[in-house]
Structure 1
Amino acid sequence: MAVTLSEAAARHISKFISKRGKGIGVRLGVKTTGCSGMAYKLEYADESGAEDLVFESQGLKVIVDPKSLPYIDGTELDFVREGLNEGFKFNNPNVANECGCGESFTV
């Protein structure tokens, strides 16, 4: 069981945490929404809770709540630039289908 960061994602997160002046990593999870049923949640984390699962990747912490882990186990969070756009990309091996807009998925 693990959720990891690519080098590009770790660089981007580290830069943001440095500018922000605090933080230990990112919190990843899923929520029920969208056309396909589930969508990713991503936020910067300052601390972890007692129930959280904490993974170390590229020198940063990736924090996941236990209910989300079955849906994102094995996921690599990447940071990509495509033309003029840039953003995080979830490389999730559990995804069975994604909606056309790319905002939600099913497992």
Structure 2
Amino acid sequence: MSTTDDTPQQSTISVSETAAEEAIALLERESMDTDVSGLRLYVQQGGCAGLSYGMRFDNEPEEDDTIYEHHGLRVFVDPASMSYIEGSKLDYEGGLQGEGFHVENPNVVSECGCGESFRT
């Protein structure tokens, strides 16, 4: 499945323009692998609240991934992760706590004190 910014159906994962720009810039600065074609967003077991987000650059989507494209950035999400992050927005924030990517997830019922892990 694939969706893009101009697809009429509502996307279940969105990416802010700032996050897309930062991810693309990071890829261009730090990746020597020219075969990288997108950012994988996933959920893994871990952290004091039980689940945590993960992100990495990936060469190709898996066969059962959902693929989103926002502001020139392709995002791959596997089916197991989708059940935890459906409706989320990937954003990039800067501030006193430092800069970084942040997932705004409407499914979260609690987060750990440091905000690194969550529970749905």
By the TM > 0.5 criterion, same fold?
A: yes
Counterpart of 2:112 (choices 72, 75, 99) is 99
Runs (4+) of structure 1 exceeding 6 A deviation are none
Residue equivalent to 1:12: 22
Residue equivalent to 1:67: 80
2:88 maps to 1:78: no
In the comparison of the two structures, how many residue pairs are matched?
107
Calculate the TM-score normalised by the size of structure 1. Answer: 0.91
Q: 3-state DSSP class of the match of 1:89?
A: strand
* Mapping for residues 16-95 of structure 1, pairs under 5 Å: 16-19=26-29, 20-21=31-32, 22=34, 23-83=36-96, 85-95=98-108
> What amino acid is the match of 1:57?
H
Structure 1: state its 5+ residue gaps.
none
Instruction: Tell whether the 8 Å contact from 2:42 to 2:81 is kept in structure 1 after alignment.
Output: yes
Of all paired residues, the percent bearing the same amino acid is: 39
Instruction: Tell whether the 8 Å contact from 1:13 to 1:25 is kept in structure 2 after alignment.
Output: no
Q: Deviations over 1:50-101 (max 9, x none)?
A: 1211111112111001011010011111111103711011111111110112
Instruction: Tell whether the 8 Å contact from 1:28 to 1:64 is kept in structure 2 after alignment.
Output: yes
CA distance in 2 between counterparts of 1:24 and 1:91 reads 24
CA distance in 1 between counterparts of 2:72 and 2:106 reads 23
Calculate the TM-score normalised by the size of structure 2. Answer: 0.81
Shift of 1:25: 2.1
Once structures 1 and 2 are overlaid, which stretch shifts more, 86-95 or 10-19?
10-19
Structure 2: state its 5+ residue gaps.
1-10
CA distance in 1 between counterparts of 2:61 and 2:102 reads 23
RMSD: 1.5
> What amino acid is the match of 1:32?
Q
